[in-house]
């Protein structure tokens, strides 16, 4: 016999309430949409590693722009000094030209009083190119010796004055170009740093903690590489000693302590060691001072400002920028770097530090950081460009 029990409606119980199938599907769709809306912003956000890489790139770009700013600032300063000198020279020569013109005028007046005035004297005194006037006449043949000297002096003074005016005009044009480059570099630095700060400000407290942990891990790896370099340097020193027939050294590498003299062809002489010691002492005294782009001390430094100031303390004049400092000495292998040497970074040579030994250096790293001791591998082995021993 067929059952007369009514079939139970399809659906789902939610908290004891039977929900129709159609309503269940609708609720599921809403839930999925809600989950998607919540997840979308997270999916669109860059990963922590991407943020870290982007910020590091921005700091490097800001460092490169800083060196361009330093170069433009130096050019602008020198060009302004040149323009001032030229303008002073033009003023002096203009006065000398006026004096020569007055002397010619006195001769003309004397000729007039004697009744033997020079032909077209007014034209002579007002002419822009008196030499052209004299070339077309035989006036010079009719002048006395002193009058000829006065005319020659006038022509010479006018020629020099015109040349200096042209130089001043060209220098003013160059100064304008340098000022434009300076303004562009400054804007680039500020834009890169602003973008980096904005990226960091968007991180949560947890993300910032993870970012700090990644940085510590990076520093540990850099320290490990520095220790390897120190061991390699010590081994190479001993090998060079053995080849030279010298006794084994008791020297133990310590940051800031140069290798013993005579330990190889690239070993510094006594005068360099003394100067390097002064430079290192100065650099150590700056540890803890803030990095400020474009700064040369005494309260803050950028990277090349620190190395320039350190070597200035040893009476050695280094150029202002990394681009010029890299050419201010002898390039040596990293394995033979000595305390006081300059270590340059990146393909565009936009960063520099002062080597102290054992794979370590003192440098002004980046905005928001302070002058500190750090491994030369702080940004990876591939970032090291070259090592230069200042002349």
pLDDT value for 345: 98
Q: Any idea which of 113-122, 189-198, 355-364 has the lowest mean pLDDT?
A: 113-122
pLDDT at 135 > cutoff 60: no
Mapping DSSP onto H, E and C, the string for 89-114 reads HHHHHHHHHHHHHHHHHHHHHHHHHH
Residue 327 has a CB neighbour count (10 Å cut-off) of 11
Which of the residues 4, 138, 251, 303 is marked catalytic?
A: 303
Name the strand (E) or helix (H) holding 61: helix 48-114
Q: Dihedral sign, CA of 228, 340, 371, 343? A: negative
Name the strand (E) or helix (H) holding 23: helix 21-44
Q: What is the model's pTM? A: 0.71
Choose between 90 and 261: higher pLDDT.
90
DSSP E strand stretches across 319-371: 329-332, 342-345, 351-357, 360-363
Structure tokens belonging to residue 79:
């060009």
Structure tokens belonging to residue 371:
């002058």
Token pair 């119980």: residue: 13
User: How many Å from the N-terminal Cα to the C-terminal Cα in the chain?
Assistant: 112
Long-range contacts of 183-189 (CB under 8 A, 24+ apart): 184/72, 185/65, 185/66, 185/68, 185/69, 185/72, 186/69, 188/61, 188/62, 188/65, 188/68, 188/69, 189/62, 189/65, 189/66, 189/69, 189/293, 189/294
Confidence of residue 167 (pLDDT cuts 50, 70, 90): confident
Structure tokens belonging to residue 291:
């990095």
What would the pLDDT profile of 230-242 be if each residue is shown by its tens digit? 999 999 888 888 8
Choose between 302 and 116: higher pLDDT.
302
pLDDT value for 143: 56
Token pair 């005028």: residue: 105
Pairing of strands 11-14, 351-357: unpaired
Q: Check residue 390 and report its DSSP letter.
A: E
Best CA proximity match to 56, nearest among 364, 343, 365, 291: 365
What would the pLDDT profile of 317-346 be if each residue is shown by its tens digit? 999 999 999 999 999 999 999 999 999 999
Active site residue 251: no
Choose between 104 and 64: higher pLDDT.
64
Which of the residues 4, 251, 363, 385 is marked catalytic?
A: 363
Q: Which residues contact 274 (CB under 8 A, 6 or more apart)?
A: 314
pLDDT value for 152: 72
pLDDT value for 145: 63
Active site residue 351: yes
Which of the residues 4, 138, 351, 385 is marked catalytic?
A: 351
The side-by-side arrangement of strands in the sheet containing 360-363 is: 329-332, 384-390, 342-345, 351-357, 360-363, 372-375
pLDDT value for 64: 95
Pairing of strands 384-390, 329-332: antiparallel
Q: How far apart are CA 314 and CA 87, in angstroms?
A: 36
* pLDDT, mean of residues 40-46: 58
Q: How far apart are CA 136 and CA 353, in angstroms?
A: 68
pLDDT value for 353: 98
Active site residue 303: yes
């Amino acid at each position: 016999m067929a059952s007369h029990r009514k079939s139970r409606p399809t659906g789902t119980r939610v908290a004891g309430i039977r929900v129709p199938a159609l309503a269940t599907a609708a609720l599921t769709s809403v839930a999925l949409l809600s989950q998607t809306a919540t997840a979308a912003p997270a999916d669109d956000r860059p990963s922590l590693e991407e943020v870290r890489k982007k910020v590091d790139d921005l700091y490097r770009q800001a460092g490169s722009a800083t060196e361009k700013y330093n170069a433009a600032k130096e050019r602008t300063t020198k060009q302004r000094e040149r323009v001032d000198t030229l303008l002073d020279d033009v003023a002096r020569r203009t006065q000398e030209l006026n004096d020569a013109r007055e002397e010619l005028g006195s001769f003309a007046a004397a000729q007039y009083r004697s009744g033997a005035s020079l032909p077209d004297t007014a034209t002579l005194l007002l002419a822009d190119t008196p030499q052209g006037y004299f070339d077309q006449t035989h006036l010079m043949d009719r002048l006395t010796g002193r009058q000829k000297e006065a005319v020659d002096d006038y022509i010479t003074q006018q020629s020099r004055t015109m040349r200096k005016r042209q130089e001043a005009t060209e220098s003013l044009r160059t100064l304008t170009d340098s000022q434009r480059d300076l303004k562009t570099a400054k804007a680039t630095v500020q834009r890169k740093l602003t973008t980096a700060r904005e990226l960091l400000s968007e991180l949560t407290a947890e993300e910032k903690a993870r970012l700090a942990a990644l940085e510590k891990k990076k520093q540990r790896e850099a320290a490990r590489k520095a220790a390897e370099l120190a061991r390699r340097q010590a081994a190479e020193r001993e090998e060079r000693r053995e080849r030279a027939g010298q006794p084994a050294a008791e020297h133990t590498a310590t940051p800031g302590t140069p290798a013993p003299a005579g330990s190889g062809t690239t070993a510094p002489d006594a005068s360099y060691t003394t100067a390097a010691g002064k430079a290192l002492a100065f650099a150590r005294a700056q540890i803890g001072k803030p990095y400020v782009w474009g700064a040369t001390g005494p309260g803050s430094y950028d990277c090349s400002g620190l190395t320039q100031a350190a070597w200035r303390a040893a009476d050695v004049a280094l150029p202002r920028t990394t681009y010029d400092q890299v050419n201010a000495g002898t390039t040596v292998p990293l394995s033979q770097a000595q305390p006081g040497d300059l270590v340059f970074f990146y393909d565009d040579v936009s960063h520099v530090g002062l080597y102290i030994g054992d794979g370590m250096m003192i440098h002004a790293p980046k905005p928001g950081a302070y002058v500190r001791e750090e491994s030369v591998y702080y940004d990876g082995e591939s970032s090291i460009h070259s090592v230069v021993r200042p002349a």
